[in-house]
Structure 1
Amino acid sequence: MTAGPLAQVLGEFAAKVDPPAAVRADVPTRILDVVGNALAAYAEKNADAAPAALRVMRRWAGVPESSVLGFRDRLPAPSAAFVNGVLAHSLDYDDTHLPSVLHPSASVVPAALAAAEAGAPGDLIAAIAAGIEVTNRLGMAGCDPDTGANLYFERGQHATSICGTIGAAVAVARLYELDAGRIADAIGIAASMGAGVLEANRTGGSVKRAHCGWAAHGGVVAATLAAEGLTGPPTVLEGRFGFFTAHTGRFDPTAVTDRLGEEWELLRTVFKPYPSNHFTHAGIDCALALRAAGLDPDDVVSAELGVAEPVLRTIAEPAAEKARPRSGYHAKFSGPYTVAVALTGGGGLGVGLDDFAALDPRRLDLAARIEVRADPVASAAFPRAFAGVLRVRTRTGSVLQHRVTSSRGGPGHPLSLAEVTEKFTGNAGRALPAGAVAALARAVGDLGSGGPVSALFPS
């Protein structure tokens, strides 16, 4: 890559890159996962975020350019990207890149699909690949290389939506076939649009569901403005008053540029097997293993979940909120409750969407007996993997223990294509009949060979 301001380096990458076969094969699976998650969110009975977003976008109206999954509305491309991004992130079931610990596809894919359906002529697969890659690398640059701490999160910032806005802008700018300079401008514009505060993870509120929607919306707007001539500062990322100063305070520039276009962080982005915050997955794995070994949840007197120290703030604190979450959605961010779900029998791929449809009194009672503490082994593995250990004391006085060094779906244990397809089928089947689900899967697969985006949104 040519040396220069980081935005220009990323612009040149996005404008010129022809992804290798492995990346091109992977991207349709990302789209499949996003579409399935969005349709499951559309079908959610207790949803509030996506219907609220759609009502606002309908009221604002505009040129009917792009479609909304499930609802069948046609809206201006930024508005459709917004609603689809809300849907994609609503269930906390979207893919995760490690070590940045962000969810790139839920912002990038909705933005790219909206722009492509609205007529942007570029290579959809290459555009999404470039957008996800940029998102991941911006996230990695904000990780402390010594401690592994995510500097975005340390400041309460949601890296998913902040970096995802820029990644979405890169994807849409590539779809518009802008040159490297204009893509750099789109990055510069998008950097003023990305936002997201994580307090909802800890103490409630449904606004986090909207973060990826706003990122997708901002990405479409930023790229469109760049195409029309608006410009961004060339040093928007590394400058004294730039992106990293604002969001992380310090950063690793080599994480952005090292082997860019040669070594793909996109391929390290893992699919979730469970519809909950990814930090809870190691505990779920441990609980499922103990239950499979014969543990009766009614015999549990107390339990201790050991996880990486940095994740305690998300899944263990405040302790009272996590022991008794205020809704099924907030239960997804509770270490005690998700362990209780797994111990009492989940559905789907082990723990399923129906397990969070409403709070269960039996699970709340069990969650109140589960403490979450820092575990040194899990802390050492973080953020390259989500590890954990669960120790359970039973009525007979025995202590049972299970440890995982990397959660299911994570590094070393990735979901197979068949498992991701099974996840999609279950998710999409909550909103569509079986025949329509199969047709949608074929339409997504056809995108890899230039199939039309419109086939994803049959009238």
Structure 2
Amino acid sequence: MTDAIERFADHVVGTRYEDLPADAIRAAKVFILDSVGVGLAGTQAPYVREAIAAFQGAVPGAGARVWGTGEPLPPPAAAAVIGYLIHNSEYDCVHEQAVLHPMAVPFSALMAEAEARGGIDGKALLRAVVLGVDVACHIGCSARNGLRFFRPATGGGFGAVAALGAAFGLDRERLLDAFGIYYAQTGGTMQAHVEGSPLLAMQAGFNARNAVVAVRMAEAGIPGLRGTLEGPFGYLNLMEGDYDADALTAGLGRVWRITEVAHKPFPSGRATHGILDALRELRTEHGFAVDEVASVAAAVPPLTHRLIGRPPKDAMTPNYARLCGSYAAARLLVTGDLGVGDFTPEALGDAATLELAQRITITADGNPDPNALTPVTVTVTRHSGANVSRTLSVIYGNPAKPMSHEAHLAKFRGNLAFAHGPVPAGNADTLIALVDDLESLDDARRLVDLMVVG
């Protein structure tokens, strides 16, 4: 019996840029620009300077630059830091069925190596992104258990290997080696999510680094595992526990997973977004003010409750608060929106927000699907005793309920304005234009040139 990893390798090696449908290319452009924006906003997160210093001390050298600040690092270390930047604000895109952030690991590894090696034009970048997302999300969609390990990091690393293999022309055998070497290094625990630890995002960085190392080792001739996914101790049996073998690769070449990826309109866990979307709709429809709200009750699937049902508390860290549905909902009601500025120490200490958050309850609804994020039902009760409810099965940002192009660009510009520096508005305009016409870009390093502001 052959391992499914072989079918993924065949998919990567055998897919040309010309084979990609137009909607996949459009989606890749959207989420490349989105990932650049959230990564630059991530330069303002806690522990960025410490992470850069740690990698500079542990692995001195150069080859690729840290986004925003520009420090030179060897490609594996640069990939690790960029992965942390992309995911640390909980603002990066998500594939809801796979329960996986499909750009954080693949794109950080790809951009670090594209800068270090050079020669990656826009078409090669687009092809690599589409294939990396495809591999990561097909693997994630096959899982039938709830999250055991941190799938955005572990599954995302397979996508990173695929993206690097596509970009740098690995043949089938070398790509199989790289997948196997990556799996021997992979890791990522949900304990970081439980604790609201910055290590949650750093795990994306660790696996981006591991993917870079795996590809370089395979290129050097080091053999990898071959039962990488379906062996008795392969990824799916050991780290996912139960999976649908038929669903694993059935859609390859027909279902392009990047077209299913959801935008994140708010910088908080995607599991909070159903509550936030419902509250925005209810407020727009019924026009209530925040001081009219007596309580809010949200009934959500067990996975959603597990991810963001944690209690609000004083002195929350940004990482904890981004995964606290009650805080996110309260902050949206108090300010009218939820943005990157709502996780500063000042915002996290706002008395009105914290008091309202204590009146917002989130309960599990008994949904039998361990990977479901919807439906979500939100009920707002006013001090008058009147209440209004909304049930959502599709959440704003999903391709079936998409952000507009204008909202996408506004998010990008807002992230660059918030970033270290900040990034000049002219650079934002140029980045938008370059990504919009990415097929014509001669070298992906031009994107990094515009991201580094000293």
- The two structures have a TM-score, normalised by structure 1, of 0.90
Taking the aligned partners of 1:323 and 1:305, their CA distance within structure 2 comes to: 18
State whether structure 2 residue 427 is matched by structure 1 residue 429: no
State whether structure 2 residue 151 is matched by structure 1 residue 163: no
Taking the aligned partners of 1:437 and 1:455, their CA distance within structure 2 comes to: 13
Instruction: Determine the structure 2 residue equivalent to 1:414.
Output: 402
Taking the aligned partners of 1:163 and 1:217, their CA distance within structure 2 comes to: 14
Taking the aligned partners of 1:92 and 1:269, their CA distance within structure 2 comes to: 15
State whether structure 2 residue 343 is matched by structure 1 residue 356: yes
Aligned with residue 287 of structure 2, among 294, 305, 313 = 294
Residue 340 of structure 1: how far off its partner (Å) = 0.7
Taking the aligned partners of 2:315 and 2:156, their CA distance within structure 1 comes to: 28
Name the CA shift for 1:364/1:86 in 2 (closer, same or farther; >3 Å).
same
Instruction: Determine the structure 2 residue equivalent to 1:345.
Output: 335
State whether structure 2 residue 271 is matched by structure 1 residue 279: yes
Instruction: Determine the structure 2 residue equivalent to 1:78.
Output: 76
Residue 374 of structure 1: how far off its partner (Å) = 2.4
Instruction: Determine the structure 1 residue equivalent to 2:296.
Output: 303
State whether structure 2 residue 135 is matched by structure 1 residue 139: no
Name the CA shift for 1:303/1:25 in 2 (closer, same or farther; >3 Å).
closer
Residue 4 of structure 1: how far off its partner (Å) = 3.4
Taking the aligned partners of 1:406 and 1:314, their CA distance within structure 2 comes to: 18
AA matched with 2:84: V
Instruction: Determine the structure 2 residue equivalent to 1:193.
Output: 185
Residue 179 of structure 1: how far off its partner (Å) = 0.5
Q: Which runs of 4+ in 1 moved over 4 A?
A: 380-385
Instruction: Determine the structure 1 residue equivalent to 2:379.
Output: 391
Taking the aligned partners of 2:89 and 2:110, their CA distance within structure 1 comes to: 21
Residue 275 of structure 1: how far off its partner (Å) = 0.6
Structure 1 residue matching 2:117: 3-state secondary structure: coil
Structure 1 residue matching 2:298: 3-state secondary structure: strand
Aligned with residue 250 of structure 2, among 234, 252, 258 = 258
Taking the aligned partners of 2:12 and 2:323, their CA distance within structure 1 comes to: 35
AA matched with 1:53: A
Residue 160 of structure 1: how far off its partner (Å) = 0.3
Contact 1:271 1:409 in 2 (8 A): yes
Residue 324 of structure 1: how far off its partner (Å) = 5.1
Residue 133 of structure 1: how far off its partner (Å) = 0.6
Q: Which moved more, 1:284-293 or 1:185-194?
A: 284-293
Instruction: Determine the structure 2 residue equivalent to 1:147.
Output: none
AA matched with 1:86: Y
Taking the aligned partners of 1:120 and 1:16, their CA distance within structure 2 comes to: 23
Taking the aligned partners of 1:20 and 1:286, their CA distance within structure 2 comes to: 33
Runs of 5+ consecutive residues of structure 1 not aligned to the other structure: 145-149
Q: Deviations over 1:14-37 (max 9, x none)?
A: 112122232223212221111100
Contact 1:332 1:338 in 2 (8 A): yes
Contact 1:381 1:405 in 2 (8 A): no
Residue 202 of structure 1: how far off its partner (Å) = 2.7
Contact 2:294 2:359 in 1 (8 A): yes
Residue 388 of structure 1: how far off its partner (Å) = 1.6
Taking the aligned partners of 1:182 and 1:70, their CA distance within structure 2 comes to: 33
Taking the aligned partners of 1:380 and 1:237, their CA distance within structure 2 comes to: 26
AA matched with 1:326: M
Taking the aligned partners of 2:195 and 2:112, their CA distance within structure 1 comes to: 33
Note the 1:39-188 alignment, pairs <5 A.
39-42=40-43, 44=44, 47-119=45-117, 121=119, 123-142=124-143, 144=144, 150-151=145-146, 153=147, 155=148, 157-188=149-180
Name the CA shift for 1:288/1:22 in 2 (closer, same or farther; >3 Å).
closer
- The two structures have a TM-score, normalised by structure 2, of 0.91
AA matched with 2:361: E
Instruction: Determine the structure 1 residue equivalent to 2:230.
Output: 238
Structure 2 residue matching 1:392: 3-state secondary structure: strand
AA matched with 1:314: L
Name the CA shift for 1:251/1:383 in 2 (closer, same or farther; >3 Å).
closer
Structure 1 residue matching 2:377: 3-state secondary structure: strand
Aligned with residue 449 of structure 1, among 433, 440, 443 = 440
Taking the aligned partners of 1:423 and 1:446, their CA distance within structure 2 comes to: 19
Q: Deviations over 1:364-388 (max 9, x none)?
A: 1011111111236xx3788566332
Contact 2:301 2:372 in 1 (8 A): no
Residue 290 of structure 1: how far off its partner (Å) = 3.0
AA matched with 1:356: F
Q: Which moved more, 1:91-100 or 1:327-336?
A: 327-336
Runs of 5+ consecutive residues of structure 2 not aligned to the other structure: none
What is the number of equivalent residue pairs in this alignment? 437
Structure 2 residue matching 1:191: 3-state secondary structure: helix
Structure 2 residue matching 1:305: 3-state secondary structure: strand
Contact 2:261 2:399 in 1 (8 A): no
Aligned with residue 392 of structure 2, among 379, 399, 404 = 404
Taking the aligned partners of 1:217 and 1:455, their CA distance within structure 2 comes to: 22
Residue 105 of structure 1: how far off its partner (Å) = 0.3
Amino-acid identity (%): 30
Q: Which moved more, 1:250-259 or 1:361-370?
A: 250-259
Residue 240 of structure 1: how far off its partner (Å) = 0.8
